[in-house]
Chains A and B, each alone.
Chain A
């Protein structure tokens, strides 16, 4: 099992994560950890705002926010389908937004996403990793599902229940 050793190290990450008092402080830590473990070039966690029909995410500093419409791209598709998406050929995927690459100069080679569910089984957010050298496979999907679930408690607590005390 590719991720067997990872599971042992995960509790240490969990403890670090729970030291973070707010969602914005936690997101960069989650991204950094996921990128290292899954050997991907980039990681974003998009938090779903069901009232505004948008997702927001933070940059590495945890401060600046990027907001995107919730209906677009592979992240929007993950929200609709309520399950992970893997594509190792994004430019031929009908939902992939190649415009973002065009405007940033980044070249997306492969993508994996997973929905993050709340205790009420609503979507809290979407987890996305880009560019793993050898491409994403089934073990990566399994780990994404496990990891999304593992962090979902922290996300729900800080986003829904502790929000006003930020």
Chain B
């Protein structure tokens, strides 16, 4: 830009009358050389800064093809999400209360009510309490410092992934855990495990029941604590073969009294029950 401008002033007077003046001006232009040089230097620095910033962003793990939004915008949706889940819990309790209060005077209705209550508890649609285990999964406190950037695979071994959560839950289910719930760092945001519950990594969070949770993850399991613990600590079990114990990424605690909430997400849209009874 500035170079073009200077050129114009020296050799580009568009009309005849300016020609003698241009010659005179040429001498005094030597002062401009310094200024233009200084400007060019400043421009060069800016350009360098801009290039560095861009390449930093490109080098970061995130891809540029994903749009970015501010975290304030995100927290609005988070708040709304928690409010909606609370409201769903509220409404489900109302429905349960009404169901329990239905009086028809017939034995079959009483059986129906009992069956409904039992399945709700079993399937995760009623809150439950009981003794069991709390398993905490976190990133390793001692990640290897000797690993170079090429050792991406080794580095990921020291971080908790969705499959770690899913595998620990599977071990607990197989060992007879009756009720399960998962939370992230926010221990109040407990997500009950129902049939379709799974953890799926999205960015730095694990999405459980549609709700993003962040490490450390807590898995609450109601069941026989000794049996569940023995299953988790088996030498050929998931925790040891994955190296979660060696890398200090897992903590197992007995919990004499756990309170798990009911499922607070949405249900079905496409699957229709086939009437059999």
Q: Do A and B bind each other?
A: no
A interface, CB within 8 angstroms of B? none
